[in-house]
Amino acid sequence: MSRTLRVCNLEDWFAGGERKEHFIQTLGDALRDIGFFALAGHGISKKNIDASYETIERFFNLDQNTKKSYENTEMARQRGFTPYGIEHAKDNPEPDLKEFWQTGRTLAKDNPLANEFPQNFWPHSCAPEFELHIDGLYNAMEEMSIELLKAASLCLNKEEDWLPNMAQDGNTILRVIHYPKLAPETPDGAVRSAQHEDINLITLLIGATADGLQVMDHDGTWIEVEGNHEHIIVDSGDMLQNLTNGLFKSTTHRVVNPPNVTSDRYSMPLFVHPRGDVDLTPLPEFIAQTGGKALYPEINANDYLFQRLAEIGLTS
């Protein structure tokens, strides 16, 4: 029988006392074991989630020329629209069967960091509610991510603000994804999202509109993750794995093709990134806990990110 992901309830974190300690322990156990858990009690209403999905569905149902008018290749596709068949998993030549929109933090023009990030732009003329729903979701999920990073810091016997400080004004991205129905000419071996690991510190994935997400277990079998809005699926990425020398796992996962080839799927992951200058070199205390040898490279977050963007086809 296939196992399921551990469930952490964010309400326990805010309750304090023994409930908070239980939350920290469960989160830490999950990230050390398989790098994934399901987050209950996240506080984002089903009404707001449904409204966001309805908004992105309307956008992705626009004609291709309209959508492509919001494509910007000069910013490594870190903002705006990326067409179907562009991105592929690292070491997989077949493109993923998806199109998506990416947005990041909104900074005032007089903010000292305003030039550090690409500027957000929005499809106001064809989807006037897009900014309201998607930027609102970004802000709510990023606020939640800071609480999770606090708990993860305590799991690692660090100060509560250790990981949140790395993510302060980091290049965190919300990606809204459309997996269209499968075309007859879909290449053999092409899947909605080929098996991969996330690049960043942690990822928060609002329950998708359909099943399909699978997480690889230790024995190579796949854990099926149900698509629902009750849980947010959280996983630790390669950057956190690098920093902790593998104490926290970055686990392979994928989105498989559906049995009904005419069905669409939508999902909304938030990829939480540190600032580009953050040093991800494994720390000595984590090296000591994982066998005494550095298993991952000395590298900063900016170099790590752009190396991976090239590997998955989003920049050259």
Residues 6+ apart with CB under 8 A from 8: 23, 26, 27, 30, 37, 38, 39, 40, 234
pLDDT in tens, 108-128: 788 887 787 888 999 999 999
What residues contact 98, with CB distance under 8 A and at least 6 apart?
Answer: 84, 87, 177, 178, 179, 180, 192, 193
The pTM score is 0.93
In whole angstroms, give the CA distance from residue 266 to residue 52. Answer: 10
- Mean pLDDT check: name the lowest of 39-53, 194-208, 247-261: 247-261
User: Would you state the pLDDT for residue 2?
Assistant: 64
- Name the residue type at position 105: R
Q: Exposed, middle or buried: residue 217 (CB in 10 Å: 0-12, 13-18, 19+)?
A: middle
The pair of three-digit structure tokens given for residue 92, joined into one six-digit string: 């997989």
* pLDDT confidence bin for 187, thresholds 50/70/90: low
For each of the domains in the chain, give its residue range(s) and CATH number, in order of start: 44-311 (2.60.120.330)
pLDDT of residue 316: 56
Mean pLDDT of 217-242: 92
Residue 249 near residue 236 (C-beta atoms within 8 A): yes
| 58-67, 169-178, 223-232, 280-289: least confidently modelled range | 223-232
Any residues with CB less than 8 A from the CB of 297 and at least 6 apart, and which? 242, 281
Query: Would you say residue 1 has pLDDT above 60?
Result: no
**pLDDT bracket for residue 207 (50, 70, 90):** confident
Binning pLDDT at 50, 70 and 90, where does residue 78 land?
Answer: confident
